[in-house]
Homo-oligomer: A and B are copies of this chain.
Amino acid sequence: MPRRGRREEILAIACRLFSQKGYHGTTIRDISEACGILAGSLYAHINTKEDLLFEITDRGADAFLRSLTPIVESDVPARQKLKLAVRAHIQVVEANLEAATVFFHEWKALTGERFSQIQEKRDQYEGLWATILAEGVREGIFQLQDEKFARLLVLSVGNWIYQWYRPDGELSAEEIADRFVSLMLHGFAR
């Protein structure tokens, strides 16, 4: 008989394994063994292996969207929005490091409709960042003869953070975010 809460446990374990070995590099048996059950028993909880990948990446996408949307919609200057947005992004990565890794690194293994669904949410997320930068230009606080490149710079940082961010560092997620914003705004030339 399926145990209560078992499904969440399976998701967490799949998330960890996908982040370590990749989706295609992880087998149903890797997951079931880490759960202490047999391969076939996993299917009392899920329908397909791809279900796991989809649920992990979809939750990841929602976490990023939920955290950024209210900031973009808020009534503060763009410069402040940028700062809050980078903070929020790093905090989501921090709170879901393994899920973020799967979200950024493995989502392309999805197929068909599910691939498109996640792609859409990713586009939506990138659109929110673009909105902040565009606002900053309208406000005259960002100089964007290079709007496209500024966007790529911001997204590069965001899409790469999960690769090096570890929660056991000296600095808080907030401090890291603030330094990055400062760097992006003013550069590191003297």
- Chain A residues touching B, majority SS: helix
Query: Chain A 158-190 against B: per-residue CB contact (8 Å), 1 yes, 0 no?
Result: 011101100000000000100110111111111
Q: Which of B144, B156, B180 contacts A188 (CB 8 A)?
A: B144
Q: Return chain B residues, CB-CB under 8 Å to A185.
A: 187-189
Nearest residue, chain B, Cβ from A179: B149
Find residues 137-170 in chain A having any chain B CB closer than 8 Å to their own CB. Answer: 140-144, 146, 149-150, 152-153, 155-157, 159-161, 163-164
Nearest residue, chain B, Cβ from A188: B150
Once bound together, how far apart are the Cα atoms of A22 and B109, in whole Å?
Answer: 8
A152 near B164: Cβ-Cβ < 8 Å = yes
B190 near A141: Cβ-Cβ < 8 Å = yes
B159 near A189: Cβ-Cβ < 8 Å = no
Report 22 cross-chain contacts, Cβ distance below 8 Å, ordered by A residue: A22-B22, A22-B24, A22-B109, A23-B24, A24-B24, A25-B109, A142-B188, A142-B189, A143-B188, A143-B189, A144-B188, A146-B183, A146-B188, A149-B179, A150-B183, A150-B188, A152-B157, A153-B153, A153-B157, A153-B188, A159-B163, A184-B188
